[in-house]
Chains A and B, each alone.
Chain A
Amino acid sequence: MNRITRLTALLLLPALFAATFADEIATMRDGVKIVDTPKPAPIPRVVNEDIKTQRSYPMQPPLIPHDTRDYELNLQVNRCMSCHARRRTEESQAPMISVTHYMDRDGNFLADVSPRRYFCDQCHVTQTVTREVYENEFVDMDELLQRRTAEETDD
Chain B
Amino acid sequence: MQYFRKIWRDFGRPSVHYGIGSLILGGFIAGVIFWGGFNTALEASNTEAFCISCHEHEDNVYQEMKETIHFTNRSGVRATCPDCHVPHEWTDKIARKTAASKDVWGWLFGTINTREKFVAKRRELAEHEWARLKANDSLECRNCHDFDYMDFTLQSLRASEQHSTSLASGEKTCIDCHKGVAHELPDMTGVEGY
Contacts and interface: CB of A to CB of B under 8 A. Distances in A.
A77 B158 contact: no
Q: Is the interface of A mostly helix, strand, loop or mixed?
A: loop
- The secondary structure that dominates the B interface is loop
Contacts of B68: 70
A70 B69 contact: yes
Nearest to B186: A76
B10 interface: no
B156 A77 contact: no
A87 to B, nearest CB: 10
A117 B22 CA distance: 80
A76 B156 contact: no
Interface residues of B, number: 14
A contact residues, range: 10 to 19
Given A77-B194, A88-B193, A50 B158 contact: yes
Contacts of B185: 72, 76-77
B188 A50 contact: no
B41 interface: no
Contacts of A98: none
A82 interface: yes
Interface in A54-109: 66-67, 70, 72, 75-78, 81-82, 88
Interface of A: 48-50, 66-67, 70, 72, 75-78, 81-82, 88
